[in-house]
């Protein structure tokens, strides 16, 4: 494998949910007998119902990979800070400021990718891509291998007053703060009752809202705005936190720990150094392999076990290059055969990060029409 003979590389295998996996995408939510419209849901394959199979979005891992690409660029810059424009381009593929104006003025019609162009000069942005410039790295969604299993659960909790739960904390307060805490606790209960009553009014007003005439909807909306304003005034007048301390906290769906999910990713037109940077990024992720929401509950830990294959142009059959394992503080490459394609690619990437100019690399180049002089 080299920059002259690019070929597709396929990572295929499974993800293990080492802890529960959750997301916080509001468009995935829906009302059902098992929860309210505010219950954060997992994404569904098909209709938004409890019966539809869940999946975990591969974009979560792709974001980690792009963050790792930024880390590579920083290391290549001897650890010095990079401009904000490069942060946005590396992580999100979004140009801002002067770079946005520069790229928006580029005429892409008739542009043909050349071997000495941007993909060879800045492999990191080639992998990630950006507006009007497609990336070569694709990441699959994670699919539970057995959809019939109970692959999600609802987790909820009750937020409590810490000084009631552990009275010893009061011993560490002075007398004036003890008096203040007493006022906050009394106030918290009273305000919770007032806000609850107003929220009940909101529920009554919203019932059947869609079936009302436009004039009636306007009348109801005005009433809702008045009630919302009342709630805001009540909360703003509190001595303690704006939200009540003692209250139930809405639960959320999550992939059950130890669930096995089918996963993978592909790198199109992959050069040896592209492969090396992808492996470097996976190793970087092993420092903190967490995705999604609710890290405070230690949700989101995952591990990967992927077989790596390719099929070169002049090869009669696919080739297995080896296997890659990623987990918490764990990264391992198992080679297939004596060529050590994976290890050599990673070693090449490490050298390129130390001396990018020697390899003809410039991670600050984002012009898709760029060619080397």
DSSP tally for the chain: helices H, then strands E: 10, 9
For residue 4, what pLDDT is reported? 41
- pLDDT band for 31, please (50, 70, 90 cuts): confident
Q: What value does the mean pLDDT take over residues 105-132? A: 84
User: Comparing C-alpha atoms, which of 136, 137, 122 is closest to residue 77?
Assistant: 122
User: DSSP character for 366?
Assistant: -
pLDDT band (50, 70, 90) for residue 124: very high
- In angstroms, the CA 121 to CA 133 distance is 14
Please tell me the predicted confidence (pLDDT) of residue 316.
93
Which whole number is the average pLDDT over 47-73? 95
- CA geometry: angle 189, 192, 198, nearest 5 deg: 150
DSSP H helical segments within the chain, as ranges? 59-76, 84-92, 97-104, 118-121, 123-128, 162-165, 175-206, 214-236, 272-285, 341-354
Asked whether residue 235 carries a pLDDT value surpassing 90, the answer given is: no
Is residue 17 scored above 60 in pLDDT? yes
List beta partners, residue 267: 9, 137
The answer to whether 95 and 103 are in contact (CB under 8 A) is: yes
Q: Could you tell me the pTM of the whole model? A: 0.82
Residue 312 has pLDDT above 70, yes or no: yes
Residue 132 is predicted with a pLDDT of 78
């Amino acid at each position: 494998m080299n920059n002259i003979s690019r070929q597709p590389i396929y990572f295929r295998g499974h993800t293990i949910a080492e802890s529960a996996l959750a997301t916080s995408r509001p468009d995935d939510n829906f009302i059902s007998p098992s929860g309210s419209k505010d219950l954060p849901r997992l994404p569904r394959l098909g209709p938004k119902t409890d019966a539809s199979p869940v999946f975990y979005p591969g974009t979560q891992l792709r974001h980690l990979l792009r963050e790792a690409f930024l880390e590579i660029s920083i290391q290549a810059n001897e650890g010095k800070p990079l401009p904000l424009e490069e942060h946005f381009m590396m992580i999100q593929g979004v140009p801002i400021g002067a770079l946005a104006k520069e790229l928006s003025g580029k005429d892409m019609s008739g542009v043909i990718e050349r071997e000495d162009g941007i993909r060879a000069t800045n492999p990191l942005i080639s992998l990630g891509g950006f507006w009007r410039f497609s990336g070569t790295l694709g990441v699959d969604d994670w699919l539970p291998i057995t959809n019939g299993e109970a692959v999600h659960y609802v987790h909820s909790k009750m937020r409590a007053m810490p000084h009631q739960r552990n009275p010893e904390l009061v011993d560490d307060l002075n007398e004036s703060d003890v008096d203040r805490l007493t006022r906050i606790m009394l106030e918290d209960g009273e305000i919770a009752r007032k806000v609850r009553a107003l929220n009940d009014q909101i529920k009554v007003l919203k019932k059947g809202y869609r079936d009302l005439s436009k004039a009636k909807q306007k009348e109801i909306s005005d009433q809702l705005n008045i009630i919302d304003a009342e709630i805001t005034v009540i909360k703003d007048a509190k001595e303690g936190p704006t939200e009540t301390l003692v209250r139930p906290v809405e639960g959320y769906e999550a992939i059950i720990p130890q669930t096995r999910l089918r996963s993978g990713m592909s790198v199109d037109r992959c050069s040896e150094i592209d492969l090396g940077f992808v492996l470097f990024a996976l190793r970087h992720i092993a420092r903190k392999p967490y995705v999604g929401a609710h890290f405070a509950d230690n949700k989101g830990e995952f591990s990967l076990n992927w077989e790596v294959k390719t099929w070169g142009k002049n090869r009669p059959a696919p080739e297995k290059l080896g296997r890659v394992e990623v987990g918490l503080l764990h990264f391992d490459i198992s080679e297939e055969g004596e060529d050590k394609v994976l290890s050599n690619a990673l070693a090449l990437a490490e050298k390129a990060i130390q001396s990018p100019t020697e390899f003809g690399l410039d991670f600050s180049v984002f012009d898709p029409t760029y060619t080397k002089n």
